[in-house]
Amino acid sequence: MIELAGFSSVLVQFATFAGIFALLALGLNLQWGMGGLFNIGIAGFFAVGAYASAILTGAANPSHLGGFAMPFILGALAAMSVSGLIALAIGLITLRLRADYLAIATIGIAEILRLFLKNEAWLTNGVRGIAGIAKPHAAFLGPGWATLVFFAIVLVSVLLVYLGLERARRSPWGRVLRAVRENEETAAASGKNTVRFRLEAFVLGSMIMGYGGALYAHFFGFISPEAFEPELTTFLVWIMLIAGGSGNNRGAILGAVAIWLVWSGTEVLTNRLPPELVTQAGAIRLLLIGALLQVILLLRPEGLLKERPPPAPLPPKGVPPAPLPPKGVPPKGVPPKGVPPRGEARPPRGPAPPPSSRA
Amino acid sequence: MTEVLQLLIYGIVLGSIITLGAVGLSLIYGIVRFANFAHGDMMTAGAYFAFFFVVTLELPMFVGFPLAMAGGALLAVALDRVLFRRLRRTSPVVLLISSFGVALMLRAAIQLVWGPSVQVYEAGIEFPIRFLGLGIKPDQLHILGGSVVIVVALHLFLQRSRTGKAMRAMSDNVALARVSGIDTERVILWTWVIGAALTAAAGVFLAIDTQLHPVMGWRLLLPVFAAAILGGIGKPYGALAGGMVIGIAQEMSTLVISPGYKPAIAFAIMVVMLILRPAGLLGARR
C-alpha cells in the first residue's frame, strides 16, 4: 500500500492511538467523572484486556498458552469479561471504604497484575511478551487495509461507547450515580443501594478499559509486562480526563485527542535534543506532561469542557412519566406552567467530585 | 529453623525501613489529610540526595545522612508551597491526582539528574557477621540502630514538644485544634518537614540495604501504604507496628510462595485488613 505510506499512514496511526486512549478516558470518566471512584490502576485493566485477547486469538506457540485462534470479537469479549471480573472482586472489597482506600487498592491490583504477567511465563511468556498479534482479518485484507479497517473498528467503538455512556448519564441510573457521588447519605436515605451503583460503574468502566487493552494489543502487535509502562499509561489517561473535563464524555474524548497530540508533540521536540540527552527523552516528556497536569489543576480544574448535569427529563407524550412524580401532578403530560423542573437544577461544578464524606 | 530466623532478621531490617516510610505517610495523612502518592518517590529523592553528599561530595555518611533528611524536608515544603497548599483550598481529592503526578515527575527528574541505571553508595561486598549460624551485615545493624534512634526521637518530639502536641491535636480534630489557637498552617509545615525527613531516612536505608534506582521508592509505596493502613492510617504509632508486620511477612513469605510475588504479600495483608478491620490494628471504629 504505497499510497498509504507517509503522512496519511502517520495520521491513521495517530488517530487510532488517540481513539484507544479516548476509550480509556471514557471508562475513567464513568468511574471518576460520574461515579467519583478513584482508579489509578487503569494500566492493570488495560494490560489484562490486552493479554486476554492476545492469548485467545493467537496461534499456537510453544513458549506460552495459545492456539485458540478465536476471532477478534471473542478475544475482545474475553478481555472485557476478565477485567470486569477483576474489578468486581476489587470493588466488592473496597467500594464500601473511603475513596483513598480504593485508590490504594487499584495501585495494588495493577502491581499484582504486572507481577502475575511477568512471573506466569506458561501463560504470558513472561518478560519476553507476546509478539505477532494480528489485526482482525489481517491475512485476508493485507496490511494496509487491515490498518484502515482497524481504525474504523476503533472509531465505531469510541462512538458506541460514547453514545452508550451519554445515554447512561441521562438515564435514572446515571443520575443516581451522580447523586451517590455528590452525597452518599442522601442517596442512601432515598433508598438507593449506593454500593451497588458504585460497583456497577466501577465494573463497567474497567470493562471498557479492558476492551481498550484488547484493541491496543491488536493494533500494536506486541505486548509485554513492561511495554505498557504501567504508571505512564494510567497517568496519561488521568491527564486526558482532567484536561478534557471530568464528568463530560465529550470532554474525555477531546482530552484524549488533545493530550495525545501534546504527548506525541513532545516526542517530536525530544527528537531534536542533542544525542547525549536522547536516552533521557522519556523522562523529559514525563516532566513536561506532569507540569501540564499541575498547571491545569491549579488554573482550570474543570478542564476544557465543564460537566453539564442533564436536566430532569420531561416525559414525552405517550411515554411513562419520569420516576416519582410529585403528588398532585398528573402522571402524564407536561407539568403545569410555573412549576420549575424537578431535580438536578444545580449550577455547574468543578472537575473533582468532592471527597466522599464516608469515613 | 535457622532459615526462618534468618528471614526474620531480614524482615526486621525491611520492616524498619517500611516503618519509617509508613510513620511519615501516616503523619501526613492524619494532619495534611490526604494520601500522598508521591511518598515513595520522595523516599527515592532522599536516597539520591544522600548519594549526592556521600558519593559526589565525598562526605562521610553520618554527615550526608542528616543532610539528605534536610533535603527531603526542603523538597516536601517546596512542593507544599508551590502545589499542595493551593490545591488544599479546592478539593482534597484533587490532591491525590496532583500527588500522583508529582510522584512521576520526581521520578523523571531523578532519572534526568542521576541517570536510569542502578547505583550504590559504596562498591564492594560486605561480609556478614556470623552468629549461631545466622548472618547479619554491619550495614543492616546500622539500619536497625538508626531506625531505633529516629523512632525514639520522633516519640519524644510528639510527646514532649509543643509542636508535637499540636500535631497530635490536629490529627485528632482539626476544628478543635484551630479554636484552641493552634496555627494549623504552621503545623502542616512541620508535618511535611518531619514526615519527609523520616521518608528520606527510609530511602537512604533502603539504598544501603539494596541499591539506588529511580523506581526503588515507587516499588515500596504499596508496602508502606499497607503498613500505614494496618496501623490505622493517620496514627503514627500504629504505623510502627504495621511496618514491622509487613516487613517480616514479606520476607517470611518466600518460604511459601515464589519470591517474584513478594510485593503482593503487602497487598494481600492490606486487603484482609480492609475486610476485617478497616480502622487498623490499633484503631477504634470512628
Q: Do B101 and A293 touch (CB under 8 A)?
A: yes
Which of left, alpha, beta for A67 (phi over 0: left; psi -120 to 50: alpha)?
left
Q: Give me the pLDDT at residue B282, please.
A: 62
Query: Chain B within 8 Å of A357 (Cβ-Cβ)?
Result: no
- A53 vs chain B: nearest CA distance in angstroms? 24
Q: What confidence category does residue A337 fall into, taking pLDDT thresholds of 50, 70 and 90?
A: very low
CA distance A5 to B191: 58
Q: Do B102 and A100 touch (CB under 8 A)?
A: no
Q: Give me the pLDDT at residue A331, please.
A: 46
Which chain A residue lies closest to B113 (C-alpha atoms)? A280
CB < 8 Å to A280, chain B: 111-112, 116
Range in A37-51, A73-87, A122-136 the model is least confident about = A122-136
Residue A116 belongs to some domain of the structure: yes
Which chain A residue lies closest to B262 (C-alpha atoms)? A115
Residue A272 belongs to some domain of the structure: no
Q: Which is nearest to B28 in space by CA: B105, B99, B109? A: B99
In tens, the pLDDT along B174-197 reads: 888 888 888 888 999 999 999 999
Q: What ipTM describes this predicted complex? A: 0.88
Query: Chain B within 8 Å of A283 (Cβ-Cβ)?
Result: yes
* CA A295 to the chain's CA centroid: 23
> Could you say which of A100, A239, A294 has the minimum Cβ distance to residue B35?
A100
Q: Give me the pLDDT at residue A144, please.
A: 80
Is the distance from CB of B16 to CB of B143 less than 8 angstroms? yes
Q: Which of B83, B87, B93, B173 to mutate to test the interface with A (most CBs of A within 10 A)?
A: B93
Name the domain count of chain A. 1
Residue A304 belongs to some domain of the structure: no
pLDDT at position B85 over 50: yes
Q: Do B97 and A290 touch (CB under 8 A)?
A: no
Angle at A234 between CA A229 and CA A237, to 5 degrees: 125
Q: Which of B41, B44, B79, B97 to mutate to test the interface with A (most CBs of A within 10 A)?
A: B97
Q: Give me the pLDDT at residue B187, please.
A: 92
Residue A112 belongs to some domain of the structure: yes
User: What is the rounded radius of gyration, in angstroms, for the C-alpha atoms of chain A?
Assistant: 22
Q: Three-state SS for A64?
A: strand
Total residues found in chain B within this entry: 286
Residue of A24 and B132 predicted with greater confidence: A24
Q: Do B91 and A350 touch (CB under 8 A)?
A: yes
Helix (H) or strand (E) holding A167: helix A143-170
Which chain A residue lies closest to B263 (C-alpha atoms)? A112
In tens, the pLDDT along A170-212 reads: 999 999 999 988 888 888 888 888 899 999 999 999 999 999 9
Q: Do A115 and B261 touch (CB under 8 A)?
A: yes
Rounded to whole angstroms, the maximal C-alpha distance in chain B is 59
The total of other beta-carbon atoms located within 10 Å of residue A340's CB is: 8
Q: Which of A107, A288, A356 to mutate to test the interface with B (most CBs of B within 10 A)?
A: A107
Which chain B residue lies closest to A242 (C-alpha atoms)? B97
A contact residues 102-141, partner B, Cβ 8 Å cutoff: 103-105, 107-109, 111-112, 115, 118-119
A contact residues 323-352, partner B, Cβ 8 Å cutoff: 350-352
Q: Do A93 and B260 touch (CB under 8 A)?
A: no
Q: What confidence category does residue B55 fall into, taking pLDDT thresholds of 50, 70 and 90?
A: very high
Q: Which of A29, A102, A111 to mutate to test the interface with B (most CBs of B within 10 A)?
A: A111
Residue A18 belongs to some domain of the structure: yes
Query: Chain A within 8 Å of B87 (Cβ-Cβ)?
Result: yes
Q: What confidence category does residue B267 fall into, taking pLDDT thresholds of 50, 70 and 90?
A: confident
Q: What confidence category does residue A18 fall into, taking pLDDT thresholds of 50, 70 and 90?
A: very high
CB < 8 Å to A99, chain B: 93, 96
In tens, the pLDDT along B214-247 reads: 999 998 999 999 999 888 888 888 899 999 999 9
First CA to last CA across chain A, in angstroms?
A: 59
**How many separate helices (H) and strands (E) can be counted in chain A?**
14, 0
Q: What confidence category does residue A314 fall into, taking pLDDT thresholds of 50, 70 and 90?
A: low
One-character DSSP codes across B238-284: HHHHHHHHHHHHHHHGGGTS-GGGHHHHHHHHHHHHHHH-TT-SSPP
CA distance A286 to A266: 9
Question: Grid coordinates standing for B55?
Answer: 558519593
- B154 vs chain A: nearest CA distance in angstroms? 26
Residue of B72 and A96 predicted with greater confidence: B72
One-character DSSP codes across B95-137: HHHHHHHHHHHHHHHHHHHH-SS-B-SS-SPPPPEEETTEEE-
Q: Give me the pLDDT at residue A335, please.
A: 46
Q: Do A97 and B274 touch (CB under 8 A)?
A: yes
- A177 vs chain B: nearest CA distance in angstroms? 18
Instruction: Fill in the DSSP letter of residue A319.
Output: S
Q: Residues A308-335: what's their mean pLDDT?
A: 58
Q: Give me the pLDDT at residue A341, please.
A: 45
Task: Work out the mean pLDDT of chain A and round it to a whole number.
Answer: 83
Q: What confidence category does residue B286 fall into, taking pLDDT thresholds of 50, 70 and 90?
A: very low
- A281 vs chain B: nearest CA distance in angstroms? 9
User: Residue A136's domain spans which residues?
Assistant: 2-229
Query: Chain B within 8 Å of A100 (Cβ-Cβ)?
Result: yes
Q: Which is nearest to B36 in space by CA: B218, B268, B275? A: B218
Query: Chain A within 8 Å of B271 (Cβ-Cβ)?
Result: yes
Q: Where are the domains of chain B?
A: 20-218
Which chain B residue lies closest to A284 (C-alpha atoms)? B108
> Could you say which of B96, B116, B274 has the minimum Cβ distance to residue A103?
B96
Q: Give me the pLDDT at residue A293, please.
A: 92
Q: Give me the pLDDT at residue B51, please.
A: 96
CA distance B243 to B248: 9
Residue A167 belongs to some domain of the structure: yes
> Could you say which of A38, A109, A284 has the minimum Cβ distance to residue B93?
A38
Q: Which residues pair with B131 in a beta bridge?
A: B134
The segment with the largest mean pLDDT, out of A159-163, A336-340, B34-38, is A159-163
Which chain B residue lies closest to A294 (C-alpha atoms)? B98
Q: Give me the pLDDT at residue B285, please.
A: 44
Which chain B residue lies closest to A111 (C-alpha atoms)? B264
Q: Give me the pLDDT at residue B18, please.
A: 96
